[in-house]
C-alpha cells in the first residue's frame, strides 16, 4: 500500500508561482544593474529573470563592454541581447513610478524608508494595480548602490541575511528578490493584467514617474538659485536633497504638474524682476 507521504506530489521550490502572473509582471517590473563589473554576474541575473518570468533588464554604465556575451546567461540569451544599456541611473528608471534600491544597512545610514524583502511584494502589487511601473535596482559588486544612486530610489530593500555575512553575490541577490516578488504577486486575482477590480480601485492618480520628479527638481533648483536661496557651493547638496524629498512626498502625476506650474510661474516672476532692476 502506498504511504500517504509518497502519494503527495514532490515539493517544488516554485510551487507558488503561476506562469500567467510571471508573464504579466515582465512588462511592468524592470531589473536595473548599476555599474556591474563582472559579465558573468550580469548573465546570472538574466538567467534568474528568465527563471521567474521577468524580461526587462537594464544595465547602467557596465565596466565590461562584451557583457551581452556572458555564458552564464543559460536559457536567457535573448533576454540578455534585448537588454537596455544606459549611461545613468536616472535614464534607466525614468518611466518608473516606484524605484526600489537594494542593499545592506551594515555600512550605510539610509535616508529613505527601509523595507525588508518579505514586505516588498504588497508595495509592488499596489503600485502595479494602479497602473505604475516598478524598478528593482542593484548596485555593483564592489560597493553596492552609492548614496547618490539611492537618491533616485523611493525606498531601500534589505535582504535578511546573517550579520556575519550581510552581502550577497549580485546574481544570487537578483534571484532571491525576484523569487520573493514572483511568489507574492502570483496569487493576486488581478495578476494577469495588474488592474484592480472596481472594489479595489484606488482613488489616487498614477504616481508621477521618476523622470517627471527629476524635471520638477530642476525647476525648483532653478527657482532657489533665482531667489538667492543658498550659495552656489550648496547647489549639489540641494539637488540631492530635492531628489530625496520629492520621492518621499511621492506626488501623483496631477499634483506634480500643479507644483511644476507653480514653480515655473515663480521662476518667471523672479527672472522678470531681475531684468527690470
- Of the candidates 162, 169, 133, 182, the one whose C-alpha atom is nearest the C-alpha of residue 45 is 169
The per-residue pLDDT for 63 is 87
Model confidence band, residue 14 (pLDDT cutoffs 50, 70, 90): low
Q: What CA–CA distance (Å, rounded) separates 225 from 184? A: 46
- Of the candidates 124, 122, 131, the one whose C-alpha atom is nearest the C-alpha of residue 194 is 131
Q: What CA–CA distance (Å, rounded) separates 123 from 98? A: 9
Q: What CA–CA distance (Å, rounded) separates 115 from 134? A: 15
255-268 average pLDDT score: 95
222 CB-near residues (< 8 Å, 6+ apart): 267
- Checking if the pLDDT of 141 tops 70, the result is yes
pLDDT tens for residues 65-120? 778 777 777 778 888 889 999 999 999 999 999 999 998 887 778 899 999 999 99
In three-state form (DSSP H/G/I as H, E/B as E, the rest C), the secondary structure along the chain is CCCHHHHCCCCCCCCCCCHHHHHHHHCCEEEEEECCCCHHHHHHHHHHHHHHCCCEEEEECCCCHHHHHCCCCCCCHHHHHHCEEECCHHHHCCCCCEEEEECCCCCCCCCCCEEEHHHHHHHHHHHHHECCCEEEEECECCCECCHHHHCCCCEEEECCCCCCCCCCCHHHHHHHHHHHHHHHHCCCCCCCCCECCCCCCCCCCCECCHHHHHHHHHHHHHHHHHCCCCCHHHHHHHHHHHHHHHHHHCCEHHHHHHHHHHHHHHHHHHHHHHHHC
252 CB-near residues (< 8 Å, 6+ apart): 204, 205, 206, 207, 208
Asked if 209 contacts 227 with a C-beta cutoff of 8 angstroms, the reply is: no
Instruction: Give the residue, 141 or 71, on which the prediction is more confident.
Output: 141
- Checking if the pLDDT of 123 tops 60, the result is yes
pLDDT tens for residues 41-58? 999 999 999 998 899 999
The per-residue pLDDT for 259 is 96
pLDDT tens for residues 15-35? 555 555 445 556 789 999 999
- Checking if the pLDDT of 143 tops 90, the result is no
219-244 average pLDDT score: 90
Return the domain boundaries, the chain. Answer: 19-185, 210-276
- The C-alpha cell of 172 is what? 544570487
**What share of the chain has pLDDT > 70, as a percent?**
84
Model confidence band, residue 11 (pLDDT cutoffs 50, 70, 90): very low
The per-residue pLDDT for 66 is 77
Query: In this structure, which topology does domain 19-185 adopt according to CATH?
Result: Alpha/beta knot (3.40.1280)
pTM (predicted TM-score): 0.83
The per-residue pLDDT for 200 is 43
- Checking if the pLDDT of 198 tops 60, the result is no
The per-residue pLDDT for 188 is 46
Instruction: Give the residue, 14 or 144, on which the prediction is more confident.
Output: 144
pLDDT tens for residues 147-197? 999 999 999 999 988 888 878 899 999 999 999 998 887 654 343 344 444
Asked if 238 contacts 204 with a C-beta cutoff of 8 angstroms, the reply is: no
The per-residue pLDDT for 186 is 61
Q: What CA–CA distance (Å, rounded) separates 271 from 72? A: 56
Instruction: Give the residue, 198 or 212, on which the prediction is more confident.
Output: 212
The per-residue pLDDT for 132 is 92
Amino acid at each position: 500500500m502506498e504511504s500517504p507521504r509518497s502519494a503527495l506530489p514532490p515539493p517544488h521550490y516554485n510551487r507558488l508561482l503561476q506562469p500567467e502572473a510571471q508573464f504579466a509582471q515582465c512588462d511592468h517590473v524592470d531589473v536595473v544593474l548599476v555599474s556591474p563589473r563582472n559579465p558573468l554576474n550580469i548573465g546570472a541575473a538574466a538567467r534568474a529573470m528568465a527563471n521567474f518570468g521577468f524580461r526587462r533588464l537594464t544595465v547602467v554604465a557596465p565596466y565590461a563592454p562584451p557583457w551581452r556575451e556572458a555564458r552564464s546567461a543559460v536559457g536567457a540569451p535573448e533576454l540578455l541581447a534585448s537588454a537596455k544599456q544606459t549611461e545613468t541611473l536616472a535614464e534607466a528608471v525614468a518611466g518608473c513610478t516606484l524605484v526600489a534600491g537594494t542593499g545592506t544597512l551594515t555600512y550605510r545610514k539610509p535616508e529613505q524608508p527601509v523595507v525588508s524583502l518579505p514586505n516588498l511584494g504588497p508595495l509592488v502589487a499596489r503600485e502595479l494595480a494602479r497602473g505604475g511601473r516598478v524598478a528593482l535596482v542593484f548596485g555593483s559588486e564592489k560597493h553596492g548602490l552609492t548614496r547618490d544612486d539611492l537618491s533616485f530610489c523611493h525606498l531601500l530593500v534589505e535582504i535578511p541575511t546573517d550579520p556575519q555575512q550581510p552581502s550577497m553575490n549580485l546574481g544570487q541577490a537578483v534571484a532571491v528578490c525576484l523569487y520573493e516578488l514572483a511568489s507574492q504577486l502570483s496569487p493576486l486575482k488581478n495578476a494577469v493584467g495588474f488592474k484592480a477590480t472596481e472594489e479595489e480601485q484606488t482613488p489616487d492618480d498614477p504616481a508621477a514617474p521618476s523622470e517627471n520628479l527629476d524635471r520638477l527638481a530642476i525647476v525648483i533648483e532653478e527657482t532657489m538659485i533665482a531667489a538667492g536661496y543658498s550659495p552656489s557651493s550648496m547647489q549639489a547638496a540641494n539637488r540631492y536633497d530635492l531628489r530625496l524629498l520629492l520621492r518621499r512626498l511621492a506626488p501623483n502625476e496631477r499634483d506634480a504638474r500643479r507644483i511644476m506650474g507653480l514653480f515655473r510661474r515663480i521662476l518667471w516672476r523672479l527672472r522678470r524682476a531681475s531684468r527690470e532692476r
